[in-house]
């Protein structure tokens, strides 16, 4: 699930339900999900403090709690749930922040990702690694500078050190709309390609954030890509899929002409 737009949804969700609440107790149901300290050390650093206004950088959610920052990464199957905190937890609730008036669950089926605690910017970077600027904030000129090089365009879009937040679905959607083949080398992009790439990136992100996911609309690649024998929503050609940059990419061989 989680790419930039999903995590932005989680950020708003946390702000809506948990912000301002005092953390009474942290229930660590899977200690492997607390990634850079022990469950008890984690608890000591956040218990008795309140969730403040959360932020997001790429696919990372940063939730200030007192002087500390709780960092969450959602892997492929993570999400947040706010509950009354009184019933049986869900099987995949790995960490539960019991607050005054409810509980925030970090749920994650496949257990990729996890939760880190950081006391300053250096510790934040230790957890996240170097991240490029958030994709939603990047301007047209900046995009070309950030992605400079000769990598394939899909690989570059998904490289979190260059540009933070885009994953497999978002990069495919953006490239499909911009009519650029995912294997095209950055060095081959012309000015008009860069213009479309940036415009479509902004448009896709804006609409995806509005839906808190990449919307599976039939007019979008994401709405049809999972069907067998899927057809391009724009021209009706059979979509092609293959491994690009280590992921299963989906594209239209007619709209997105291949150019190495």
Partner DNA sequence: CGGCGTGTTCAGAA
Partner DNA sequence: CTTCTGAACACGCC
Q: Which residues are catalytic?
A: 2-3, 59, 247
Angle at 173 between CA 170 and CA 174, to 5 degrees: 85
Q: What is the closest distance, in whole angstroms, from the C-beta atom of residue 206 to DNA in the complex?
A: 17
Dist CA 121 CA 115 (whole Å): 16
Residues that bind DNA (CB under 7 A): 1-3, 6, 32, 58-59, 73, 75-76, 91-92, 109-112, 129, 149-152, 155-156, 158, 160, 167-169, 213-214, 241, 243-248
CB closer to DNA out of 99 and 164: 164
Size of the chain in residues:
260
Measure Cα distances from 81 to 18, 104, 107, 222 in Å: 10, 6, 7, 25
Dist CA 21 CA 133 (whole Å): 30
Q: What is the closest distance, in whole angstroms, from the C-beta atom of residue 106 to DNA in the complex?
A: 14
Is the distance from CB of 108 to CB of 93 less than 8 angstroms? no
Q: What is the closest distance, in whole angstroms, from the C-beta atom of residue 57 to DNA in the complex?
A: 11
CB closer to DNA out of 3 and 200: 3
Secondary structure (DSSP) of 183-220: T-BGGG--HHHHHHHHHHHHHHHHHHHHHTS----TTS
Q: What is the closest distance, in whole angstroms, from the C-beta atom of residue 224 to DNA in the complex?
A: 13
CB closer to DNA out of 100 and 248: 248
CB closer to DNA out of 47 and 185: 185
Phi-psi label, residue 168: left if phi above 0, alpha if psi -120 to 50, beta otherwise: alpha
Q: Which residues contact 109 (CB under 8 A, 6 or more apart)?
A: 77, 92
């Amino acid at each position: 699930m989680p790419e930039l737009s999903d995590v932005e949804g989680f950020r708003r969700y946390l702000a809506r339900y948990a912000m301002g609440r005092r953390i009474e107790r942290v229930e660590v149901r899977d200690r492997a999900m607390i990634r850079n300290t022990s469950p008890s050390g984690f608890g000591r650093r956040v218990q008795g403090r309140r969730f403040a206004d959360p932020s997001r950088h790429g696919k990372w959610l940063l939730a200030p709690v007192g002087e500390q920052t709780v960092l969450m990464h959602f892997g492929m199957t993570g999400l947040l749930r706010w509950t009354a905190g009184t019933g049986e937890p869900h099987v995949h609730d790995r960490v539960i922040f019991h607050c005054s008036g409810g509980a925030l669950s970090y749920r994650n089926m496949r257990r990729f990702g996890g939760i880190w605690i950081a006391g300053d910017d250096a510790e934040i970077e230790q957890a996240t690694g170097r991240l490029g600027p958030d994709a939603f904030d990047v301007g047209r000129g900046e995009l070309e500078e950030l992605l400079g090089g000769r990598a394939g365009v899909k690989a570059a879009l998904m490289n979190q050190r260059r540009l933070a937040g885009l994953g497999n679905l978002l990069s495919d959607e953006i490239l499909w709309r911009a009519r650029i083949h995912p294997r095209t080398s950055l060095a081959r992009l012309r000015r008009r390609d860069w213009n479309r790439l940036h415009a479509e990136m902004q448009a896709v992100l804006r609409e995806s954030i509005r839906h808190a996911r990449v919307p599976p609309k039939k007019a979008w690649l994401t709405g049809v890509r999972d069907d067998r024998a899927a057809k391009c929503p724009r021209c009706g050609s059979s979509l092609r899929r293959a491994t690009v940059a280590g992921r299963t990419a989906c594209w239209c061989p007619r709209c997105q002409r291949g150019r190495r």
